[in-house]
Amino acid sequence: QVQLVESGGGLVQPGGSLRLSCAASGSLFSPKTMGWYRQAPGKERELVAVVTSGGSTNYADSVKGRFTISRDNAKNTIYLQMNSLKPEDTAVYYCHAVILGYQYWGQGTQVTVSS
């Protein structure tokens, strides 16, 4: 059974940084794409950043230049380095993976940006 285990959320002041990690396990196949989505209270879940197995990346306009997604294919792990965090980045961040056409989600990790 595929599992996505996230870590790294927490409380940070505006302008600060956090690094999220997500490790995929339980599959004989590596995810084709992995990424991060987020959902703030009262809002729909939205894409933050994705990375393919080949290293191609895509970011939401709201995080370009501040967030960096990276991937370690040997560990089936992705990272999201979040810099210059803003209060509007506050949300539950979910890891997402596509393996053989099936979508998987992590349990979510809370990121709160507040002074």
Residues 24-76 have pLDDT tens digits of: 988 878 888 999 999 999 999 999 999 998 999 999 999 999 999 999 988 98
Which pLDDT score, from 0 to 100, does residue 31 have? 81
Q: Tokens 């960096």 appear where?
A: 68
